[in-house]
């Protein structure tokens, strides 16, 4: 008979997920992530497509006979707000909320049924998107933007955790790379919003983009099953995965002993700084450098959208496949794949910035995206590999929040350099700022990803050494040492699990 001393420790119910259900689950999660990315882009895309009153002669406010503000065109349908308020909508109203609630709400993903948590989050952000149809004032739009951030913040922590428990460690990098195709597919769908706006108007466009999420939330509830934390590491019936209600403090306390996690955060921050900076200023770069007309600019942006979608997806799939394939040879393979790809990508980024004409720049950008967009899936897989099943969602939220917030400083730095009119001879200020900033951070991130790989190998060797000496780590930390009094019950931990937790 096995006894346990704490009432908050219990066993998750394990569900065997077959191959067909695995395929269905990752397909549905990918579709949800595409909507996640597309819905967050609607406000930035449609602000310049008619959502915001542009205060020109054909789009101004006048006073009617009752003294109320009215547009001088009855067909005009827009909302008036300042450039500062526009910045709030594009930035803090989403990003700050996304970060704060991503960490706090991930607790529920680690301690309750993840399918229900995901369905509720999806319904919240989809409802917020649909309700934009009814807004009349800026504060209403800002409030719905906040609710969008709250709902979307839960998506990745839940999805990462589910994928880690459905797919084995040896397949996680590829599967998470497939999931991260949503970044590029969602980006492509976001461009469609401008076309939909020209036909439907911005109000109906929000409704069209938001409604599918409500249907998908019902599909989640009725067709997906939570497999239980640690299900992919359960190799036989003798292994029992015990659960404790971890909060974010427990997560940080546990991760003290996991150097790869913190080194990975540093590497990801550096990579986000480079990637977000390049993404934010690519349109300005092409327009200023190649003096594009409005028609040429529209065509160029469409081509860049195709490049992001196709080449970014190719890079993700290649890196995920190689990361998993090489795992049998090196415990740090996933990180080393990222390291090599970022070093290869940096010269092509320079090539884009120094290209003599638009067509050459677009061609080089294709290669740059294939080689640079290799990190999201393998990095997310590493987070799952080095954390315990019952804290994966919260650890993922910490990882994403830190690299998103710090990465967002990149565009601010580029803007400051441009504002100071920093430039090299023969180059414009945007080219110059990106040239001294982006390739450097690609290389720096690559070097730190290499350190992640070395740290993972060192950790793997320590685990093997512990196994050889018969050392069994049955507790996550000193706080958990009392959770099991009968040492005859094997726990899922680094010493008896293929997942090699830290």
Collapsing DSSP to helix, strand or coil, 52 comes out as strand
- 74 is written with which tokens? 């009855």
Evaluate if residue 500 carries a pLDDT over 60: no
Answer for the pair 17, 167: CB distance below 8 angstroms, yes or no. Answer: no
Q: What is the pLDDT of residue 492?
A: 38
Q: Where are the alpha helices (DSSP H) in 224-354?
A: 248-255, 259-290, 294-325, 333-354
Q: What is the pLDDT of residue 59?
A: 41
Collapsing DSSP to helix, strand or coil, 224 comes out as coil
C-alpha span between 374 and 445 (Å, rounded):
12
**Percentage of the chain lying above the pLDDT 90 cut:** 45
Q: What is the pLDDT of residue 490?
A: 33
Evaluate if residue 379 carries a pLDDT over 50: yes
**C-alpha angle with apex 417: 414 to 421, nearest 5 degrees?**
135
Is the pLDDT higher at 17 or at 417?
Answer: 417
Collapsing DSSP to helix, strand or coil, 455 comes out as helix
Beta strand pairing call for 69-71 and 61-63: antiparallel
pLDDT band at 478 (very low <50, low <70, confident <90, very high): very low
Answer for the pair 258, 383: CB distance below 8 angstroms, yes or no. Answer: no
Can you list the positions of beta strands (E) in 34-165? 61-63, 69-71
Evaluate if residue 244 carries a pLDDT over 70: no
Other residues' Cβ atoms within 10 Å of the Cβ of residue 295: 8
Collapsing DSSP to helix, strand or coil, 15 comes out as coil
- 212 is written with which tokens? 């599918």
**How many Cα neighbours within 13 Å face the side chain of 10?**
9
Evaluate if residue 437 carries a pLDDT over 80: yes
Q: What is the pLDDT of residue 305?
A: 81
Collapsing DSSP to helix, strand or coil, 168 comes out as coil
Q: What is the pLDDT of residue 234?
A: 61
Is the pLDDT higher at 369 or at 496?
Answer: 369
Average pLDDT over residues 410-427: 79
C-alpha span between 428 and 410 (Å, rounded):
19
pLDDT band at 216 (very low <50, low <70, confident <90, very high): very high
Evaluate if residue 496 carries a pLDDT over 70: no
């Amino acid at each position: 008979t096995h006894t346990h001393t704490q009432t908050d420790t219990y066993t998750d119910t394990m569900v065997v997920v077959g191959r067909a259900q695995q395929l269905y689950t990752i397909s549905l999660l990918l579709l949800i992530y595409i909507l996640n990315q597309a819905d967050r882009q609607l406000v930035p895309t449609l602000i310049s497509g008619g959502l915001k009153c542009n205060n020109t002669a054909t789009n101004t406010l006048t006073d009617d006979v009752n003294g109320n503000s009215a547009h001088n065109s009855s067909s005009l349908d827009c909302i008036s707000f300042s450039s500062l308020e526009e910045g709030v909508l594009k930035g803090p109203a989403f990003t700050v909320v996304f970060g704060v609630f991503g960490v706090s709400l991930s607790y529920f993903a680690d301690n309750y049924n993840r399918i229900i948590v995901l369905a509720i989050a999806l319904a919240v952000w989809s409802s917020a998107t649909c309700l934009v149809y009814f807004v009349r004032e800026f504060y209403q739009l800002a409030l719905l933007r906040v609710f969008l951030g709250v709902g979307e913040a839960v998506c990745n922590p839940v999805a990462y955790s589910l994928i880690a428990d459905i797919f084995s460690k040896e397949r996680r990098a590829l599967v998470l790379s497939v999931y991260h195709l949503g970044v590029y597919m969602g980006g492509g769908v976001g461009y469609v919003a401008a076309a939909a706006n020209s036909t439907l108007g911005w109000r109906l466009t929000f409704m069209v983009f938001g409604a599918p999420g409500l249907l998908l939330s019902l599909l989640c509830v009725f067709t997906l099953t939570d497999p239980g934390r640690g299900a992919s590491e359960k190799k036989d019936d003798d292994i029992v995965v015990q659960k404790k209600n971890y909060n974010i403090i427990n997560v940080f306390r546990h991760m003290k002993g996991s150097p790869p996690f913190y080194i990975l955060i540093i590497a990801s921050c550096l990579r986000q700084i480079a990637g977000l900076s390049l993404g934010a200023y690519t349109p300005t770069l092409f327009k200023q450098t190649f003096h594009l007309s409005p028609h040429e600019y529209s065509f160029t942006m469409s081509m860049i959208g195709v490049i992001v979608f196709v080449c970014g997806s190719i890079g993700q799939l290649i890196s995920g496949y190689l990361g998993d394939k090489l795992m049998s040879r090196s415990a740090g393979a996933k990180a080393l794949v990222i390291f090599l790809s970022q070093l290869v990508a940096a010269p092509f980024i320079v090539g884009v910035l120094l290209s003599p004409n638009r067509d050459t720049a677009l061609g080089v950008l294709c290669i740059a995206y294939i080689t640079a967009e290799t990190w999201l899936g393998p990095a997310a897989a590493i987070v799952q590999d080095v954390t315990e099943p019952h804290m994966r969602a919260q650890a993922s939220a910490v990882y994403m929040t830190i690299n998103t917030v710090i990465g967002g400083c990149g565009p601010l730095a580029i803007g400051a350099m441009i504002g100071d009119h920093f430039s090299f001879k023969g180059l414009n200020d945007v080219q110059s700022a990106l040239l001294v900033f982006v390739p450097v951070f690609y290389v720096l991130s690559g070097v730190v990803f290499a350190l992640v790989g070395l740290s993972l190998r060192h950790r793997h060797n320590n685990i093997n050494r512990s196994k050889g000496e018969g050392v069994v780590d049955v507790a996550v930390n000193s706080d958990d040492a009392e959770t099991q009094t009968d040492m005859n019950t094997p726990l899922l931990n680094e010493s008896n699990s293929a997942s090699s937790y830290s």
